[in-house]
Structure 1
Amino acid sequence: MELLSLNKSYFEIQRLRYRPDTLAFLDTIKSQHFQDSTTPPSCSQELQESLPNLCRIPDVSIFKGEATSSPPLKIGVLLSGGHAPGGHNVVIGLFDGLRAFNPKSRLFGFIKGPLGLIRGLYKDLDISKIYDYYNLGGFDMLSSSREQITTKEQKSTILATVKKLKLDGLLIIGGNHSNTNTAMLAEYFLEHNCSIPVIGVPKTIDGDLKNHWIETSLGFHTSCRIYSEMIGNLMKDTLSIKKYHHFVRLMGQRASYTTLECGLQTQPNITLISEHIAIRKLSLKQLCKHIALSLISRYRSGKNYSTMLIPEGLIKHISDTRKLIHELNLLLLKQKLPLEKLLEKLSPEALKTFRSLPPEIAQQILTARDSYGNILVSKISTEELLATLVKKEIHKIDPQMDFSPVAHFFGYESRAGFPSNFDCNYGIALGIFSALFLVRKKTGYMVTINNLAKPYKEWKGGGAPLYKMMHVEALGKTLTPKIKTDSVHPHSPALQYLLKQGEECLLNDSYRFPGPLQYFGEKELIDQRPLTLLWES
């Protein structure tokens, strides 16, 4: 009865007591120093024009030297963009890292992320405030927002806030868009002769903030394991009743990493990968006919049930729907038109595609738009689209088949989950090495941890200039520097394995049931890694 009176579950209490192995980095962080590369920095002409100061930042390596302290520092931190499990541990790692250099250093958390940074909303963080969030999901320690820092007025206001608080550094915990903010602020500060360092860490459940320097993003492992448990439950239900065909849409507008990871974790009958569909140049009709024939083959072998995974951004990778979306984006960028006039301006191919869509999907494509007028694929029910069109194809080919589709979208259910031990350790390590970059006055870098597939004690901290992860792309009518979004590569070992298993998974019930994330018990059970990371290491 005593436990029932507490405002924390017994499980939450146990997670608050867990201390990640990567806290061991605190023992040596004071003796870590930076060596600038002697190779002159280089970047594209377009980036040079937009980020002239950042493009002069050198590569760095970390070496062990004499242990040195720092004067008391005042550092700002914000959680930016969508939630990702492990974000709280970055703040805690940063706090502990700063105190390792000087116990009198202070940490200020900006409330509601970039919005708080713009409006000057913050709170002074101490142990009593932050340790209550140790190893917990969500971003409720500080909250978050998705504001893009683009205008001179915003940047000027932020610089004034930073100077008013007499901050010695700023850390932004975020994904592609958030760390574009990091780069733009670092550039603005340098342009205005402000030596305050601004750095970022890679956080996103989509897993698409990934490149030569970043092995995987914080929160991706936890998110995919939560989805995988849910998918496993659906597959077990399907095996039990032997009746339904589950169409499951997963997060990932730009890249299919979540679907790839969950496909490896669960081995459903069909796993669609957007990038692979794009290479094959399949039309919507071709894709739906292929799925229909696959499900009919199962039906004829006595298996009138299945589970299929669908990436959120699939509709932008199918050849004819991609063309339709591209044409609509261009038309709506120029002017607002009534539906009839809009359809008149479409090419014959795009118009044919539009008229082939179920009415509710066509309506979503016309109305789901961002501030630049581009179609928001996250608002399009691709799972419903495929279920409807596949059903039509099945009834054409084999009218006797009783086809019962069930559509699901697994989205925000995972982003505030309790972080896996892997993400807990990853967050702490990122925070500690962020402290190192800020203490050593390094600006314009993304903090990274490498050797993530290895035991925690073999992890290596590092970082790379943000401009190396950027390119210039069109936003509306403006060319803007942005962090590149990574995509699943066609020759990725993880993808090749998934494709190789495709026939086996389709025809047989080779389902894999990961179960819920485990936090206590055997090391092999509680310290797992993303399967995509293991395949690519």
Structure 2
Amino acid sequence: MQSKENINITQLIQKNSAIQQVVSNISNELVARREHKPALCKVFLNEFTKTVETDDYKFDIHVEAKKRLPDIIVNKVRVLEGLSSADDSLIKKYCKKRNIGIVFSGGPAPGGHNVIAGLYDAAKKANPESSVYGFLLGPDGIIENECVELTDDIVNAYRNLGGFGMIKTGRTKIDSKEKMSLSKETCRKLELDALIIVGGDDSNTNAAFLAQEMYKDGVQIIGVPKTIDGDIQVRDAKGTVLCAISFGFHTAALSFANSISNLCTDSSSDVKYWHICKVMGRVASHLALEVALQTHPNITLIGEDLANYVDIRRLEKAKQEGTTDYTAFGMTLRHLSRVICDGIVRRGAVGKNFGVIVIPEGVLEFINEIQVFIIKLNTIIAKYNSTHDTDFHSDFPVLEDKLEYLRRLAKTAREEGTFTIWNTRDDDLFNDVPAFFQEGLLTERDSHGNFQFSQVETDKVLMGLVKDYLKILKEKGRYKIGISRDSFNKTLEKGNLDPLLIGPVLFNNFGEDFLIVKDSITSIKTLNQALIRDEIIREGDKIPGPVEKIYKKSIPSFKTQLHFYGYDGRGNDPSGFDCVYGYNLGLTAFSLIANGATGQMAAIKNLEKAFEKWEPIGIPIAPLMRIEERKGKMELVLEKTIVDVNAPCFNIVKELREKWLGAYPGDDDYRKPGPVRFIEKCEENRPLTFVLNELAKEE
């Protein structure tokens, strides 16, 4: 039963419109976003558009793509052109009543709602009687014919907003005859003229196969590139960039960068934590690279750079011995931990026992021994699933069960002397891996058969090795916190001690700005011995208080805070760049449909340049496909794009690593990117990787 006081509060809320506004879920930001109208590419300022096939761009076509996608493999790049007027035949084709479906596939990415808004606006402008259907919960909506006809009210509620809340999303693949048949039936029942699939590499792969299957049915299939990882980038055979990045990348990078910048501020204020920031990027480090440019963290790992690492010293040693050490090619997990330790020790030497490290979630994919484990375990799990009525993870629900199964495989290989994918050496090496990491490597694969790096505590794995090695360096006296000379002088003078007398006894670099306690002084006992040896004190005397205080300040305490940046960034409201990008992609998708295209990816050429140079195009999907390993089998899929370590943007980051490490006295070079905005002029209007690559071309 409500009390009188509660009833009064209820009445107060009901009667007071100002209070209602304060507690409403409609904020000023929300209102402004919904009312904001993204800029249009020049071509869309015209009443109509047409598409023109061009032979300017060629692709290296895989024989398997030619075999399996015969009707769409001949597609060419289509360039959009604007028309202020048109003849009757074009108007009739362009403005006919259409039924168009659209579906989100895979994880959310900022800008997706604007793709729908652009499509919806263009379709309704061409013919108000056209219908746009949003399939609910991803491809399952197509298979099960679960959809909603979009209206002004529905679309207007989500303009310029993040997430995929309008129609939700899912990860199902239409990858079987049954699913394909049900999808075709849905298209027939709704009398769809076209279906737009908004998704990543797997989803656009799906779009290509759907386009082939529905080619004779007359249902047009258009893909739209979506992923915050930034691994959908399209170039022709000559390297000409046709699609520089997928929508959502810019917003996610800015969102992560703003949070990581705040950690840089906190770290340099509290001066006691190393913040370890893992950012999304399963097989490519584009986000980590962009975040590095946005924030200047002290250490940034780029997986593609690690894969190219060559240990020159080991190669030279092997050469002297008349052999070749193939393990010298590529970074090992142990060596990577040493690289991180080196940076931590060097910062410590100038009194900076804090910092920020950025790690891409998929960094382990670029580490030799881990990649071998992943490939072998993927194959073992896929083979088990294909030869049993149940699946691997159901039959072996706990870690010990999984390990026992691997032991049996190794035992079989040892006793029978036959080749098996998992041998005794693999088993021995795997047993040396921490249990939580074993669990991660054996975790259930995603619906596409991919290893789920986000489920593995990459940062914990690396930091475990780092802490172990720092402990060794500390015991050897090689990991110390530098003491400022002024602090040392003041502390000793306050205790009536002579800094010039005691300094050379304590430090191996006395006279420099930051003083490092000698390697040989690793404890109170060794400190006492050093003072006695240099006749500062006598046997049995106590260590002077100021001297002991200085020594204790030099003892490092390595403390970490682990952070993961993924879901927060992909759920962010889109930046101005992604608002405009997404909306124009929706307009492009409709233009391709209106001009009879299928098996094409809606894209914007020249994204890396100023907005007035953007060129909407359609890219044929089939020629982009390659054979890759999925679920233990070789599959025809859209090829992912990893970081180009020869690109100017990467080499600039590489050149500035030493500066950003901050292993020098004084303030660090941290950069403040600011929060994600959608119309403010001070927001970065495109990724900094784009800016640097373009500036380098001008030189």
Q: TM-score, normalised by structure 2?
A: 0.73
Q: Give yes or no for contact 1:29–1:97 (8 Å, CA) kept in 2.
A: no
Q: How does 1:19-168 map to 2 (within 5 A)?
A: 19-22=37-40, 25-28=43-46, 30-35=48-53, 37=55, 43-65=61-83, 66-67=85-86, 68-69=90-91, 70-168=95-193
Deviations 1:244-288 (A, max 9, x none): 111111101110001111011111010000111111111111111
Q: Match for residue 380 of structure 1? A: 456
Closer, same or farther: CA 236–40 of 1 in aligned 2, 3 Å: closer
| Number of aligned residues | 533
Q: Match for residue 285 of structure 1? A: 334
Deviations 1:486-521 (A, max 9, x none): 100120111111111111111252111212123344
Provide the C-alpha distance between the structure 2 equivalents of 1:512 and 1:38, rounded to a whole number of angstroms. Answer: 41
Provide the C-alpha distance between the structure 2 equivalents of 1:391 and 1:224, rounded to a whole number of angstroms. Answer: 29
Q: How does 1:190-269 map to 2 (within 5 A)?
A: 190=215, 193-212=216-235, 213-269=242-298
Provide the C-alpha distance between the structure 2 equivalents of 1:354 and 1:286, rounded to a whole number of angstroms. Answer: 18
Match of 1:314 among 337, 343, 363: 363
TM-fit CA distance, 1:368: 4.0
Provide the C-alpha distance between the structure 1 equivalents of 2:578 and 2:149, rounded to a whole number of angstroms. Answer: 25
Closer, same or farther: CA 291–256 of 1 in aligned 2, 3 Å: same
Q: Match for residue 533 of structure 1? A: 690
Provide the C-alpha distance between the structure 1 equivalents of 2:186 and 2:33, rounded to a whole number of angstroms. Answer: 35
Determine if the alignment matches structure 1 residue 339 to structure 2 residue 394. no
Q: Match for residue 677 of structure 2? A: 518
Provide the C-alpha distance between the structure 2 equivalents of 1:164 and 1:98, rounded to a whole number of angstroms. Answer: 20
Provide the C-alpha distance between the structure 1 equivalents of 2:655 and 2:676, rounded to a whole number of angstroms. Answer: 27
The answer to which of 95-104 and 385-394 deviates more is 95-104
Q: Give yes or no for contact 1:41–1:56 (8 Å, CA) kept in 2.
A: no
TM-fit CA distance, 1:377: 2.0
Match of 1:366 among 435, 442, 446: 442
Amino acid at match of 2:209: M
Q: Give yes or no for contact 2:197–2:204 (8 Å, CA) kept in 1.
A: yes
TM-fit CA distance, 1:414: 1.0
Gaps of 5+ in 2: 1-17, 236-241, 310-329, 385-391, 393-400, 411-421, 476-554, 695-699
Determine if the alignment matches structure 1 residue 394 to structure 2 residue 470. yes
Closer, same or farther: CA 106–360 of 1 in aligned 2, 3 Å: same
Indicate the structure (1 or 2) with the bigger Cα radius of gyration.
Answer: 2
Match of 2:630 among 475, 493, 500: 475
Q: Is the partner of 2:637 in helix, strand or coil?
A: strand
Deviations 1:157-183 (A, max 9, x none): 111111111111111111111111111
Q: Give yes or no for contact 1:76–1:171 (8 Å, CA) kept in 2.
A: yes
Q: Give yes or no for contact 1:92–1:130 (8 Å, CA) kept in 2.
A: yes
Q: Is the partner of 2:558 in helix, strand or coil?
A: coil
The answer to which of 212-221 and 55-64 deviates more is 55-64
Closer, same or farther: CA 10–515 of 1 in aligned 2, 3 Å: same
The answer to which of 57-66 and 115-124 deviates more is 57-66
Q: How does 1:447-466 map to 2 (within 5 A)?
A: 447-466=602-621
Closer, same or farther: CA 434–361 of 1 in aligned 2, 3 Å: same
Gaps of 5+ in 1: none
Provide the C-alpha distance between the structure 2 equivalents of 1:364 and 1:341, rounded to a whole number of angstroms. Answer: 16
Match of 2:564 among 389, 409, 412: 409
TM-fit CA distance, 1:434: 0.7
Provide the C-alpha distance between the structure 2 equivalents of 1:372 and 1:180, rounded to a whole number of angstroms. Answer: 12
Provide the C-alpha distance between the structure 1 equivalents of 2:649 and 2:32, rounded to a whole number of angstroms. Answer: 34
Amino acid at match of 2:562: A
Q: Give yes or no for contact 1:446–1:466 (8 Å, CA) kept in 2.
A: yes
TM-fit CA distance, 1:535: 2.3
Q: Is the partner of 1:248 in helix, strand or coil?
A: strand
Provide the C-alpha distance between the structure 1 equivalents of 2:448 and 2:151, rounded to a whole number of angstroms. Answer: 40
Closer, same or farther: CA 417–455 of 1 in aligned 2, 3 Å: same
Amino acid at match of 2:70: P
Q: Give yes or no for contact 1:41–1:58 (8 Å, CA) kept in 2.
A: no
Deviations 1:47-72 (A, max 9, x none): 12221222122333334454343211
Closer, same or farther: CA 455–373 of 1 in aligned 2, 3 Å: closer
Amino acid at match of 1:534: V
TM-fit CA distance, 1:327: 2.6
Provide the C-alpha distance between the structure 2 equivalents of 1:518 and 1:372, rounded to a whole number of angstroms. Answer: 34
TM-fit CA distance, 1:352: 5.4
Determine if the alignment matches structure 1 residue 493 to structure 2 residue 648. yes
TM-fit CA distance, 1:373: 6.6
Deviations 1:111-155 (A, max 9, x none): 112110110011111211101111011101111101111011111
Closer, same or farther: CA 348–398 of 1 in aligned 2, 3 Å: farther
Closer, same or farther: CA 136–25 of 1 in aligned 2, 3 Å: farther
